[in-house]
Structure 1
Amino acid sequence: MLYPLKFHPILKKKIWGGERLAYKSEEHEESIGESWEISAVEDNISVVSNGILADNDLQELIEVYMGDLVGDHIYEKFGIEFPLLIKYIDANDDLSIQVHPDDETAKERHNAYGKTEMWYIVDAEKDASLVLGFNHEIDKATYLQALHQNKLMDLLNVQKVKKGESFFIPAGLVHAIGKGCLIAEIQQTSDITYRIYDYNRKDANGNTRELHTDLATDVIDYSYQPQHRVNYTPQDNQSAKLVKCPYFTTNLLVFDRDIEKEYVHLDSFVIYMCLQGKFTITTGECEPVLVNKGETVLIPACFKNLTLYPDDITQVLEIYVEE
């Protein structure tokens, strides 16, 4: 029997990782850069942590429950591969400048999906920033010249950010997360990243990290796009749309009273990422499930009516895939 599913986080130690995700580690490890909350990436398949299905992985569950778990149209398109990768990212240092391929290029080069994603700023230190595209329109030759002359940063759009802001990152957009950002990331199931610049940093052995200049050059969008921040208005006790694209829809839900959620017309799983507070989910068919701050829960597609009971003011990202 299905019910709201939690998963063991898959923790990734990074040279740029911080301490804000240490609570997810039983050993309270430091330098955790990423917590993969729900993943179907090869060799990183999420495993259930709660209820009678504990210790089963996500792929096994989709094999058994198919459309009841993910939605019929999603199962028909993706089979047993879950279509989204859900993460928290803690940047204690600047991440490398990078770009991701689109579906067509990723299929041709890697037999994989491309990578369009979005970011929600869960927290940000003073003067924290993101790199989002170029600060004016350029061409490939200009880009390569700047890259080889170690002047790429002169071309990039660096934007200060604050808690509660959201950004859409389509495939092809050059981007990077800056020091001091704690981010919730929703993306296609893909781990393909082309690193194009890493500030000439060296590891303990004096080695620089691998760059993917040739692969990246042909997928970069060189146009100037002045706006990457998502414009939205938070709404008390109802969902506010952040991003809707072919790969996912993400809403922000801020509530301080009981909320009835109806998904009768949605043929998709729903994911809740609890950013603030905590809440209990009831379905009328299974035991209530408590979701604490920092936890992520997957609601199977077969549940069309839920009630969410908050403990004080609660903030949640609501994620699903529309037809």
Structure 2
Amino acid sequence: MNEPIFLAPVFQERIWGGRKLQDLFGYDIPNELTGECWAVSAHPNGQSIVKNGAYQGKTLGQLWSSHQELFHSDSPVFPLLTKILDASDNLSVQVHPDDEYAGKNENGELGKTECWYIVDAEPGAEIIYGHEAQSKEQLVQMMNDAKWDDLLTKIKVKRGDFFYVPSGTIHALGKGIVVLETQQSSDTTYRVYDYDRKDKDGNGRELHLQKAIDVSTVPQAYEPVSYETFNQKGITITQLVSNEFFTVQKWNIDGTADFTANPKYTICSVIDGSGQLIAGDKVYSLSKGEHFILPVDFGPYQMSGTLELIISRE
């Protein structure tokens, strides 16, 4: 049986970052403006490193290209990217392209559809999720007139909320929010508005207005979200979203749960609690902030303890 693949994350400095990735997860962050933990990533801008087993020291990208027996995927690149974001200040208002637009305009990069599980939120914290414009002409006019309060739709959030953010959705995390983000493996973002902030050199940050207008969904379309929940011994599984880009679930383990081998590889992120992964005669410790991949046909196995995990698959 293959081993689980535990991964060391990559941290990214951001103007809106802070210290919560250390405070909440115990990560050894590089500085006081650490905004992103790229936890499971094979993207060239930040690759996770294998921490254990026969592939220790390899990047996830190397594993994907040279050991497809672990994944059995038709995708030419590792298709998903799991992040944890610390929005200690407001993120820029932004929008992402779909696969077709990104492929033509961003050197073959994937588009970026994503989703957010709210891990932590200060009282009153809110996100921007969509807009009120009814036509592209109205969108452009409201942007040109800087009518941001009228244009942008704001929603208050709390721990445990979930949002699906397809490409074309104007969005932003607000101050005081920590999310686990599952997304396509893309680093393409079109910045719409940035509160007139300056970068560390005193310059206004670049906006990408024409590309943002090109790709924004107008009028805003909201896909209904309906959660399916499955209960079995030791575990409650909540399916948060399942579509052509990814399937994302929340697992709540209380006690011991038994699993059979899955024909798909599985990305696992422990967002709270502690416990163990038991496979045959091997026992792996699981703690908050750990990220790992279960290869194709890994199992049977057990998870025990009190654990909250976010699970994703192609």
- TM-score of the aligned structures, taking structure 1 as reference length: 0.89
Check whether the contact 2:225–2:241 (CA below 8 A) recurs between aligned residues. no
The aligned counterpart of 1:83 is 79
The aligned counterpart of 2:115 is 118
Percent identical: 35
Shift of 1:43: 3.9
- 1:234 and 1:256 mapped to 2: Cα distance? 14
The aligned counterpart of 1:109 is 105
Distance 1:62 1:203, change over 3 A: closer
Distance 1:32 1:61, change over 3 A: same
Distance 1:207 1:229, change over 3 A: farther
Which residue among 239, 249, 253 is the counterpart of 1:255?
Answer: 253
- 2:195 and 2:45 mapped to 1: Cα distance? 30
Shift of 1:227: 6.5
| Corresponding letter in the other structure for 1:54 | Q
Secondary structure class of the residue paired with 1:288: strand
- 1:297 and 1:165 mapped to 2: Cα distance? 23
The aligned counterpart of 1:243 is 241
Q: Deviations over 1:71-129 (max 9, x none)?
A: x2x2xx213x2110000000000000000000111111121111100000001000111
| Corresponding letter in the other structure for 1:124 | A
Secondary structure class of the residue paired with 2:8: coil
Check whether the contact 1:10–1:35 (CA below 8 A) recurs between aligned residues. yes
Secondary structure class of the residue paired with 2:211: helix
Q: Deviations over 1:134-155 (max 9, x none)?
A: 1x35211111111112113311
Which residue among 43, 53, 57 is the counterpart of 1:55?
Answer: 57
- TM-score of the aligned structures, taking structure 2 as reference length: 0.92
Shift of 1:27: 6.0
Shift of 1:229: 6.2
Equivalent residue runs for 1:1-323 within 5 Å: 2-22=2-22, 25-26=27-28, 29-66=31-68, 68-70=69-71, 72=72, 74=73, 77-79=74-76, 81-110=77-106, 111-134=108-131, 136-225=132-221, 231=227, 237-264=235-262, 266=263, 268-284=264-280, 287-310=282-305, 313-321=306-314
Distance 1:269 1:120, change over 3 A: same
| Corresponding letter in the other structure for 2:15 | I
Secondary structure class of the residue paired with 1:253: strand
- 2:238 and 2:293 mapped to 1: Cα distance? 19
Q: Please state which structure has a larger fraction of its residues in strand.
A: 2
Secondary structure class of the residue paired with 1:78: coil
Shift of 1:19: 1.0
Secondary structure class of the residue paired with 1:203: coil
Instruction: Count the aligned residue pairs.
Output: 309
Distance 1:109 1:224, change over 3 A: closer
Check whether the contact 1:114–1:188 (CA below 8 A) recurs between aligned residues. yes
The runs of at least 4 consecutive aligned structure 1 residues that moved more than 6 Å come to none
Shift of 1:261: 1.7
Check whether the contact 2:112–2:167 (CA below 8 A) recurs between aligned residues. yes
- 1:167 and 1:199 mapped to 2: Cα distance? 23
Check whether the contact 1:84–1:188 (CA below 8 A) recurs between aligned residues. yes
Gaps in structure 2 of 5+ consecutive residues: none
| Corresponding letter in the other structure for 1:276 | D
Shift of 1:318: 1.5
Check whether the contact 2:111–2:184 (CA below 8 A) recurs between aligned residues. yes
- 2:92 and 2:227 mapped to 1: Cα distance? 26
Q: Deviations over 1:199-219 (max 9, x none)?
A: 111234431100000111111
Secondary structure class of the residue paired with 2:239: strand
Q: Deviations over 1:184-230 (max 9, x none)?
A: 00000110100011011123443110000011111100124467766
